[in-house]
Structure 1
Amino acid sequence: MTRLAPAVLIAAASALALASPASAKGCLKGAAVGAVAGHVAHHHAILGAAAGCAIGHHHAKHAVRR
């Protein structure tokens, strides 16, 4: 496991360096709601936040189209 840590750090650093700025419309609110819902549902706050962000972004995109 200790041999895996440097590889994970390098992968995370390269992902952050290559990431482009994204529009977070709807993501923050959705992530907050999803984290709370995920925490209540057997302590899956991170998974809930990721799903909530995706759903919130999707709803915000549809609101802009209307």
Structure 2
Amino acid sequence: MPKVVILNDASVARGGATGLALLQARLLRARGLAVVFASADRGAGPRRCATSASRCIWRGRSR
């Protein structure tokens, strides 16, 4: 199965770039791709992560 890794500085959309990264993660996951979303902040929490990516990584923690 193909896997896509999306790297972004934030996991919560406060501007256009993060919003687009999260949208891309949701759309790719809807097409059946495994998506890993990695960000440098504390993370949005497991509920939000589950809606946008197969796996989320932030500050070394994984969900």
Q: Report the TM-score when normalising by structure 1.
A: 0.29
Question: Whose relative contact order is higher, 1 or 2, with alpha carbons under 8 Å and at least 6 apart?
Answer: 2
Q: Please say which structure displays the higher CA radius of gyration.
A: 1
More strand per residue? 2
More helix per residue? 1
